Amino acid sequence: MFDSDLVLSALRALTPILLAALGGALCERAGVFNIGLEGMMLMGCFTAVATSWFTGSPWLGVLAAALAAAAYSLILAVGAVTLKGDAVVLGVAMNLLAVGLTSFLLRTVFGVQGTFDDPDLLGLTEIAGFSPLTWLSWAAVGVAAVLLSRHAWGLRLRGVGEAPDAAATLGVSPTKYKYGAVLVSGVLCGLAGAQLALGNVTLFSENMTAGRGWIAVVAVMLGRALPLGVLLAALLFGLAEAAGFRLQGLGLPQQATDAAPYVVTLIALFLTTARRRRTTGASA
């Protein structure tokens, strides 16, 4: 069952999760707990499909998805940073609103319910075997890793997240950095949505993100909000999902293969916390 098909399938599952999780990681570092990834991604899905359909250009669809999701992320930025609201409540609200809003728009803009699908809807063309957004997501991991660990912006962003008062006394505006992190996470989630709706498949259906945003939230935690850690965690989920399909082929019931990502999460959590406890124990 371990063949090139499995790897390709896992990589296709990886891209949307990775893009969203990177956004979530940036927010985490800036001290904003972002669980609105799912909703932002869904907004991206719809905007990408609608824009590609009306302009005939999937590229404009990707651009519009990034902008729309960034605009949508302002709910979290204004609510959690400026108004000091609870980010968890806001995130849940954003996820619920996105499902309702996109279903409503689907009905008003396209006059259909459930799914919009048309043979004439243009999706993204692959570059060297992968969607351009897949390549972009890997580049984004590198950029985020370098920025966070080597660049002054990254240092300030982390400072804002860990000790906002200390950062403010040094002349760094926590508000500005937090807004920046949330908006960038919006852009990344918009790209994740565009990848899902114009890359993985070429259609929009209600609630099509189907929990990928939540998996991304878990990937942020599992990867400790480190870009490389997030990549590994997201890859783990991609592999678990792709392997799950194939386990069905070997006669495992669907209910059991459905559990694959969660079993993987538990094992990974167990292993990483065990290791961390050892290292903290040694340094103490």
Partner 1 sequence: MPRRSRSIQLAALAAGAALAMTGCNAAAKKDDSGGSAAKDAKAFTLVTPDPVGQNEFMKLAVSGVKAAAKAHGGGTPKVYQSSDTASQQQNLKAAVDSAPDVVVTVGFEFADAVAQQAEAHPKQQFLMVDACTTKTYQNVSCGVFREHEGVFLAGAEAGLLSKSGKVGAVDVLDTPQFRRYSDPFAAGAKHVAKKTSTATRFVGGQSPFDDSARAKEQAGSLISKGTDHVMAAAAAGNYGVFEAAKAKGAFAYGVDVNQCPAAPGTVVDNVVKRTDVAVEKGIGHILGGDAGKTVSYGLKEGGITLTGLEDGVASSKCVIARHEDVLKKIGELRDQIVAGKLKVDDPAAA
Position 129 contacts partner 1 (CB under 8 A): no
For 130, the token pair is 């992968």
Position 12 contacts partner 1 (CB under 8 A): yes
Give the whole-angstrom CA distance, residue 45 versus residue 48.
Answer: 5
Position 249 contacts partner 1 (CB under 8 A): yes
Q: How far is the CB of 100 from partner 1 (least distance, A)?
A: 10
Q: How far is the CB of 92 from partner 1 (least distance, A)?
A: 16
Q: How far is the CB of 206 from partner 1 (least distance, A)?
A: 6
Position 71 contacts partner 1 (CB under 8 A): no
Taking the least distance from each CB to partner 1, the nearer of 173 and 207 is 207
Taking the least distance from each CB to partner 1, the nearer of 159 and 244 is 244
Position 118 contacts partner 1 (CB under 8 A): yes
Count of alpha carbons within 13 angstroms of residue 279, beta-carbon side: 6
Position 246 contacts partner 1 (CB under 8 A): yes
Which residue shows structure tokens 């240092």? 155
Q: How far is the CB of 162 from partner 1 (least distance, A)?
A: 33
Position 245 contacts partner 1 (CB under 8 A): yes
What are the beta bridge partners of residue 249?
none
**Residues within window 200-239 making contact with partner 1, judged by CB under 8 A:** 200-203, 205-208, 210-211, 214
Give the whole-angstrom CA distance, residue 79 versus residue 85.
Answer: 5
Out of 83, 152, 171, 253, the residue judged to bind partner 1 by CB under 8 A? 253
Taking the least distance from each CB to partner 1, the nearer of 1 and 88 is 1
**Separation in Å, CA 52 to CA 37, 48, 210, 235, 271:** 22, 6, 22, 29, 44
Helices and strands in the chain, H and E counts: 12, 2
Out of 95, 102, 137, 257, the residue judged to bind partner 1 by CB under 8 A? 257
Q: How far is the CB of 242 from partner 1 (least distance, A)?
A: 7
What are the beta bridge partners of residue 115?
205
Out of 57, 82, 113, 149, the residue judged to bind partner 1 by CB under 8 A? 113
Position 130 contacts partner 1 (CB under 8 A): no
Position 171 contacts partner 1 (CB under 8 A): no
Residues, the chain: 284
Q: Is the dihedral of CA 7, 11, 17, 19 positive or negative?
A: positive
With CB under 8 A as the contact rule, which of the stretches 27-35, 80-88, 108-116, 184-192 interacts with partner 1?
A: 108-116
Residues that bind partner 1 (CB under 8 A): 5, 9, 12-13, 107, 111-119, 196, 200-203, 205-208, 210-211, 214, 241-242, 244-246, 248-249, 253-255, 257-258
